[in-house]
A and B are shown apart, each in its own frame.
Chain A
Amino acid sequence: MVAKRIIPCLDVKDGQVVKGINFEGLREVGDAVRMGVQYARDGADELVYLDISASREERRTFVSLVGRIACGIDIPFTVGGGISTPDDAARLLDAGADKISVNSAAIADPSLISRIADKYGSQFVVVAIDAKCIDGRWTCTTHGGSRLTELELFAWAREAQQRGAGEILFTSMDHDGTRAGYADAVYARLSQELSIPVIASGGAGSIEDIRRVLTEGRADAALAASIFHYGQISIPELKKSLYAAGVNVRM
């Protein structure tokens, strides 16, 4: 059986991994390539690199960084952030990315998903969705959660799948940063409604949170950032605990 995946997520600015702390600012935590190599050695199953650069110049730096990441690590990695055309995706593919993730741009123009998937295959396209629960309705947001859309999470996820997404990466904005656990029930429903893999993101605070989203939450993969970067949970320890709890993970 295909193993449940553990995916550290690295937010990158100027080649450095950064993590926002309470929206006050960004704190650097390390070199993007070195951290990726270390995570791969520790047993991470995949990596996600998100470009949080603001300018075009910085984006160019990111493409060359993707090339260096591809040389350095021997596990698959996804890159995202600011991809709004098939050409953006092609540049990252050429640099060696295994997958790209699209978010706001796919909401603005859903045909972006099929235009990339038709050319490079569904396995290359991860559709990332940020949503929050408003009056009981899971509502999609864009631009890092700052703008509300009309789209409903489950309907948009189904449409993304139908347009050729290979995976859905859903972040609950209500859980992100809380370290109080993932939105387990939402993942279970997504997993039920979709035939493509679902990656859970937002809320990881403990090994138990990750175990729960991979079992009760039926997620195919669990993504987390700060708990890994700041060493709260080491990946070997996490994998050992999951394995002992009967979760199918790659040891």
Chain B
Amino acid sequence: MIAIIDYDAGNIRSVGNALDRLGAEYELTADPARILAADKVILPGVGNAAEAMAHLRERGLCELVKGLRRPVLGICVGMQLMCRDSEEGPVQGLGLFDAHVRRFAEAADAKVPHMGWNALGNLDSKLFRGISGGEYVYFVHSYFAGTGPDTIATCRHGAQLFSAALKYENFYGTQFHPEKSGSVGAAILQNFLAL
């Protein structure tokens, strides 16, 4: 069973829909016991990082997520919450990934939000098994984590290289939306389910 953490942080239904298409069983839950019992945990999230963090804290889930030993996948703002901190707020994150989240600088060749399909590079994880560098996935975000020791995929927006995905031990995060990234995204989710 996969637990999708339900903490009032945007369009979480689309992650469930993607798991349905893969034939995976899941539940939307904020119940600590259900999250602890799950084989895999997904922390979705869209919108404002500081608000999302507040919602997670209100539900008393911060320490619980940090203590999980099974594979955890943060998506978009979910991934950003797993970083050290974010300029959006600013807000302290869970500190699972050694990364700081900051806002893109607007430029003629880099509109903000970074919205649309962009190519992955420097893939370095089982999460990307069967995926080649240069494959496109869907991004929607104005804030990004820079590259660092936990980076397992990169992407470029204008002049800015950033982490498209992060990993530390059993914790994974994607800045892009695998649930909205067509067959490439479905393969990445499948890889996560197979961890």
Contacts and interface: CB of A to CB of B under 8 A. Distances in A.
Interface in B174-192: 177, 179-183, 185-186
Nearest to B157: A2
A114 interface: no
A197 interface: yes
A52 to B, nearest CB: 24
A30 interface: no
Contact of B117 (A45, A96, A167, A197): A45
A122 interface: yes
B4 to A, nearest CB: 14
A180 interface: no
A130 interface: no
A5 B47 contact: no
Interface in B80-134: 106, 109, 111-119
Given A74-B181, A197-B111, A250 B18 contact: no
Interface residues of B, number: 39
Interface of chain A: mostly helix, strand, loop or mixed: loop
Contact of B182 (A75, A93, A123): A75
Most buried by B among A98, A120, A121: A121
Main secondary structure of the interface of B (DSSP, over half): mixed
A128 B138 CA distance: 22
Interface residues of A, number: 31
Contacts of B60: none
A123 B48 CA distance: 11
Contact of B47 (A1, A3, A120, A196): A120
Interface in A52-100: 70-71, 74-76, 93-98
B139 interface: yes
Interface in A152-191: 166-167
B46 interface: yes
Given A120-B47, A195-B112, A3 B11 contact: no
A250 B11 contact: no
A11 interface: no
Contact of B180 (A98, A121, A167): A98
B13 interface: yes
Contacts of B61: none
Across the A-B interface, give the 10 residue pairs with the lowest CB-CB distance, nearest first. A250-B136, A121-B47, A250-B117, A123-B140, A2-B116, A3-B117, A2-B118, A96-B13, A195-B106, A76-B180
Given A71-B21, A93-B10, A196-B111, 14 more contacts: A1-B158, A2-B116, A2-B118, A40-B182, A74-B179, A74-B182, A74-B183, A75-B180, A96-B17, A121-B10, A121-B46, A123-B46, A123-B142, A124-B46
